[in-house]
């Protein structure tokens, strides 16, 4: 099997606080891979090692390897800015730029990085908005500001912004935590649409969401990888007692 992401003996510290403990993980290419676990177990920290965003925190120290398509992104010859161009990221709070129009929000990454000739940008924006299932809702108001969009629409706008850069990997950190149930259902549907083409790593504290949307799941607890496997197997026949407790709601 081809892996999009592999970690080898991954350890992360915030100052002396050891929060990711010797994790070896393989994330297959394409599909939805959920990182689940209770609050504070290290899900967001681990996700941020996959695009070196973790380094923006000065107290964070990473040891071990994270390989994207076989290449260790922590080796000295790798530029973190280049890594981040290839790995899209969506956060818990939908964060379109409020002072940019809907159109500009999708085009901004392409423009800043000079990724496309100018005349090809409108087509890419339309493509990305279609991919993120937002086009029909915004095509007549591309010059409006995102403040009039619902939370779910804003989150799909941010997903369009990420997709416009044509990343192979999309990291999502609790993307529905602040979205109402209708908006959440739309985003979960969208994951289903995107997963044939992209490797999506989804952080969720909700075992129910992991069960609904993921193909593989990893259970983290207190910074350790407790169990990983096909979602159905982990939920129906967990190997570890802790996993069983977590998926049945008896833990955190």
Ligand X SMILES: Nc1ncnc2c1ncn2[C@@H]1O[C@H](COP(=O)(O)OP(=O)(O)OP(=O)(O)O)[C@@H](O)[C@H]1O
Q: Taking CA 90 as the corner, what is the angle to CA 174 and CA 147, rounded to the nearest 5 degrees? A: 100
Task: Give the tokens for residue 194.
Answer: 């995107």
Task: Give the tokens for residue 199.
Answer: 């490797």
Q: Which of 5, 27, 44, 146 binds ligand X (CB under 6 A)?
A: 44
Q: Does 222 bind ligand X (CB under 6 A)?
A: no
Q: Which of 23, 25, 41, 242 binds ligand X (CB under 6 A)?
A: 41
- C-alpha dist (Å) from residue 146 to 99, 141, 155, 183: 8, 10, 10, 16
- C-alpha dist (Å) from residue 191 to 14, 15, 67, 172, 247: 32, 35, 23, 10, 21
Binding mask 4-33 for ligand X (x = CB under 6 A): ----------x--x-x--------------
Q: Does 143 bind ligand X (CB under 6 A)?
A: no
Q: Does 39 bind ligand X (CB under 6 A)?
A: yes
Q: Which stretch binds ligand X (CB under 6 A): 42-50, 69-77, 106-114, 183-191?
A: 42-50
- C-alpha dist (Å) from residue 165 to 67, 98, 99, 106, 139: 20, 20, 21, 9, 20
Q: Which of 7, 45, 184, 243 binds ligand X (CB under 6 A)?
A: 45
- Report 47-86 residues binding ligand X (CB under 6 A): 57, 59
Q: Which of 21, 67, 84, 205 binds ligand X (CB under 6 A)?
A: 205
Residue with tokens 């908005």: 129
Q: How many residues form the binding site for ligand X (CB under 6 A)?
A: 14
- Give the footprint of ligand X on this chain (CB under 6 A): 14, 17, 19, 37, 39-45, 57, 59, 205
């Amino acid at each position: 099997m081809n892996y999009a992401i592999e970690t080898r003996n991954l350890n992360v510290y915030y100052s002396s606080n050891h929060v990711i403990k010797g994790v070896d993980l393989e994330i297959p290419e394409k599909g939805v891979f959920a990182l689940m676990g209770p609050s504070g177990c290290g899900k967001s920290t681990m996700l941020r090692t996959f695009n070196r965003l973790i380094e923006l925190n000065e107290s964070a120290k990473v040891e071990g390897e994270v390989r994207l398509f076989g290449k260790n992104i922590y080796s000295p010859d790798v530029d973190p800015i280049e890594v981040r161009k290839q790995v899209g990221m969506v956060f818990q709070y939908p964060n379109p730029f409020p002072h940019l129009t809907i159109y500009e929000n999708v085009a901004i990454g392409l423009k800043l990085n000079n990724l496309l000739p100018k005349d090809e940008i409108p087509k890419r924006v339309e493509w990305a908005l279609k991919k993120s299932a937002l086009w029909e809702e915004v095509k007549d108001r591309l010059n409006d500001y995102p403040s009039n969009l619902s939370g779910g629409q804003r989150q799909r706008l941010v997903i369009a912004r990420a997709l416009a850069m044509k990343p192979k990997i999309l990291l999502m950190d609790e993307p529905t935590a602040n979205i109402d149930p209708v908006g959440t259902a739309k985003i979960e549907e969208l994951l289903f649409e995107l997963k044939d083409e992209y490797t999506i790593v989804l952080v969720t504290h909700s075992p129910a969401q992991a069960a609904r949307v993921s193909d593989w799941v990893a259970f983290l607890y207190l910074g350790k990888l407790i169990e990983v496997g096909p979602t159905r197997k982990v939920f129906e026949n967990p190997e570890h007692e802790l996993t069983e407790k977590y998926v049945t709601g008896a833990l955190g």
